[in-house]
Amino acid sequence: MVRVTAIPRKIKDYFSNSFRHQALENISAARETEVEMEPKSPFQTSDREFGADWPQYRGVNRSHNDQKDMNRLGKKQEFKRNFRFLATLGFATIFSSTWEFVLVASGSGLINGGFGGLIWEYVWTFLGYSTIVVSLAEMSSMAPTAGGQYHWVSEFAPARWQEYLSYAAGWTSTLAWQPALAGGLYPIAVMIQTITQYNQPGFFLLNWQASLLMIALGFLTVPFNTVWRRALPMFETIVLVFHFAGFFATIIPLWILAPKNSATQVFTEITNSGGWSNTGEAALEVSPDLGRVAYLMIAGLSLLVGQVSVSYCMAGADSAVHLSEEVEDASLNVPRSMVWAFVLNGLMGFVMLITYVFCIGDLNSALDSPEPFVATFLNGTGSSGGATGLTIILFILLVAGNNTCTTTESRQMWAFARDKGLPFSGWLSKIHPRCNVPLNCIIVTIVINIIFCLINLGSTLAFNIIIGLQNVGFLSTSIISIGCLISARLRRDPLPQARWSLGRLGMPINCFAVLYASFLVTFCFFPVMMPVTAQTVNWTPAIFVGVVVLATSFYLVNGRKVYTAPVTYVEGKRRNGMLQSVT
């Protein structure tokens, strides 16, 4: 055994000074963040109080950052932090599944835009949506909490509106997230029916079949979120690999085998099968001068309506936010995973979209199919076996993505119940001691989504209306939370430290994000098809207004008495009626 004294003095001094310097830096950083709170949160904890439940980290800084964030937020650490960066990236990437949903959910964009229209819709939606994602990512670094948007509203809104806006955002976010699982199950069920019909021509697609398939697939998410919960990070990492492998396994056969449309068709052919052009043509016949202007406006309007389906393909990067209290070094890994998931998914989605429209063949024939992408697979491979194989790849990845839906929905519900924002909050906010998950919230989430699946038995229209609430709810809560951050910047309030920051670009990016989200949510209320009938009318505005009225009613009746706005426990000092955040 070599004695320390045998080590050359220079090497010994080097290591001694390095370790001493690192230790002093850690102690100094810890002292800088020790701020007295008035009053002290009853949930604030010390190192010793975390005990064995506080996860072990490789470095001091990592555990210190998570503990510092939880102390500042005034929240008790209740989950084990077993998600690292790669697992969190997998979680956010698989939830969004952009290239998969480009195939599954781009029907509206093809109807309102055609080949060229859909491509350019994708480009401007990606650029606009990126400002929303990075704005949310910065806030997730400031306050990494499972509550997400409603917590940020509470922390950044003016004091007068903190409680109500936070409560309304919490209700909107919770209700908007709930249909996510059913929305992910529906295309899988229709996919199974469609590929069965191609292999068995006598098979008929019926709603009850789709509903039963959805319920069965929904139950598959329960084990991964309960008894197999410890394996979920590894599962997400493995599925991330399959996400990339499946992408290449899908596009390469289409590149090699499928007949191709011309580049002129793909990039310049803008068509409209949604009836909006017919309205413009009617105006043109009535008044040639004014009708020409109306025709151009309505043709452009059809593209703006079609962009909604593209935005649906890009949603979901913020799912990692609701996992924040289970992620190691969350203030850095959560925003990084959000941005990387959005960028990687966006790029793969664009390549898949180009491949899709080149290989889709005749647009009208594809739109006549229950699932146009299945018709494209059949046209591309030339055999039902090849189409079935490519569909199975998509099926596996989308089924795996449903696990993230259940996780995200249950964590959002649990966080809002923890702040007493929901009925039966005491029961919903309990953590199962063995599984270390909000089991009651998972049960309620599954039950609610089963009800949504059963609604599809009676009316596909009613089911689609409920599913449409998800996009509107996400955009509206993003507008409120980013708007509150802008308000805090304008008031020059001290903001929490963000380890992932937009820097000086924060203000202009935040402003553009609010403008773009407001622009996009407007077209979520438009009907996809014209003329409007009982079967084509978009009831999402009525449902959204109903949610706002419901949230306001609950707040006035009981919420303002029992709801504990997250800002109540955020470490800080009150000054002139405003809560001063501590950096």
pLDDT band for position 252 (cuts 50, 70, 90)? very high
Which tens digits make up the pLDDT trace of 402-450?
Answer: 999 999 999 999 999 999 999 999 999 999 999 999 999 999 999 999 9
- Name residues whose C-beta falls within 8 Å of residue 343's C-beta, 6 or more positions apart in sequence: none
Site of tokens 């704005």: 135
**How many CB atoms lie under 10 A from the CB of residue 250?**
25
Match 């151009």 to its residue by tokens.
296
**Phi, psi at 432, each rounded to 5°:** -65, 125
| % pLDDT > 70, the chain | 82
Q: Is-contact 75 325, C-beta < 8 A?
A: yes
Query: What is the C-alpha to C-alpha distance for residues 42 and 26, in angstroms, rounded to an integer?
Result: 26
Confidence label for 148 from pLDDT (cuts 50, 70 and 90): very high
Check: CB of residue 485 under 8 Å from CB of residue 573: no
What's the gap between Cα 48 and its chain centre? 35
In angstroms, the CA 68 to CA 30 distance is 9
Mean pLDDT for the stretch of residues 228-236? 93
For position 16, what pLDDT does the model report? 47
Task: Look at residue 130 in the predicted model and tell me its pLDDT.
Answer: 97
Residues 6 or more apart in contact with residue 53 via CB below 8 angstroms: 77, 80
Closest-CA residue to 174 (of 559, 582, 561): 559
Query: Could you give the percent of the chain with pLDDT greater than 90?
Result: 55
Lowest-pLDDT choice from 227-231, 369-373, 402-406: 369-373
Closest by Cα among 389, 544, 528 to 477: 544
Residue 229 confidence (pLDDT) above 50 = yes
Give the pLDDT confidence score for residue 57 in this predicted structure.
Answer: 37
For residue 236, give every residue at least 6 positions away whose Cβ sits within 8 Å of its Cβ, in sequence order, or none. Answer: 83, 87, 88, 90, 91, 94, 404
Res. 107: pLDDT tops 50: yes
β strands within 275-339, DSSP E: none
pLDDT at 38: 34
What is the amino acid identity at position 216? A
SS3 335: helix
User: Which residue ranges form the domains of the chain, and what is each CATH number?
Assistant: 81-401+421-565 (1.20.1740.10)
145 confidence band (pLDDT: 50, 70, 90): very high
Contacts of 309 (CB under 8 A, 6+ apart): 105, 106, 107, 108, 109
Q: How confident is the model at residue 201 (pLDDT cuts 50, 70, 90)?
A: confident
In this predicted structure, the answer to whether residue 222 has a pLDDT above a threshold of 90 is yes
The burial of 50, by beta-carbon neighbours within 10 Å (0-12 exposed, 13-18 middle, 19 or more buried), is given as middle
pLDDT in tens, 532-547: 777 778 888 888 888 8
User: Can you list the positions of beta strands (E) in 50-173?
Assistant: 112-113
Q: Whose structure tokens read 């001091």?
A: 60
Note if the bond before 55 is cis, omega within 30 degrees.
Answer: no
259-273, 346-360, 473-487: the lowest-pLDDT one: 259-273
Look at the block and give the residue holding tokens 């400031």: 142
Predicted confidence at residue 445, as pLDDT, reads 97
Out of 48-52, 375-379, 393-397, 480-484, pick the least confident. 48-52
What's the average model confidence in pLDDT over 292-300?
54
Contact at 8 Å (CB) between 128 and 310? Answer: no
C-alpha triplet 124, 125, 126: angle, nearest 5°: 90
At residue 548, does pLDDT exceed 70?
A: yes
CA distance 56 to 80: 10
DSSP assignment string, 493-543: PPPPP-SS--GGGHHHHHHHHHHHHHHHHHHTTS-SSSS--TTT---HHHH
User: pLDDT-derived band of residue 40, with 50, 70 and 90 as boundaries?
Assistant: very low
Q: Which residue has the higher pLDDT, 326 or 199?
A: 326
Tokens matching residue 39: 């009053």
Report residue 403 as tokens: 């696990």
Residue 4 has pLDDT above 60, yes or no: no
Lowest-confidence region among 52-56, 71-75, 332-336, 548-552: 52-56
pLDDT at position 295 over 90: no
Check residue 44 and give its pLDDT: 36
Mean pLDDT of the chain: 83
Asked if 411 contacts 145 with a C-beta cutoff of 8 angstroms, the reply is no
The yes-or-no verdict on residue 264 having pLDDT over 70 is yes
pLDDT at 64: 84
CA distances from 91 to 233, 326, 430, 478 (A): 8, 12, 24, 20
Please tell me the pTM assigned to this model: 0.85
Alpha-carbon distance 463 to 466, whole Å? Answer: 5
**N-to-C CA span, the chain:** 48
CA–CA distance, 258 with 389 (Å, rounded to integer) = 15
Cα dihedral 569→319→538→282 (10° resolution): 120
Nearest to 572 by CA among 42, 142, 29, 40: 40
Q: Using the predicted structure, report yes or no on whether residue 29 has a pLDDT greater than 60.
A: no
Quote the CA–CA distance of 152 and 451 in Å, as a whole number: 31
DSSP bridge partners of 575: 578
Structure tokens given for 10: 């220079």
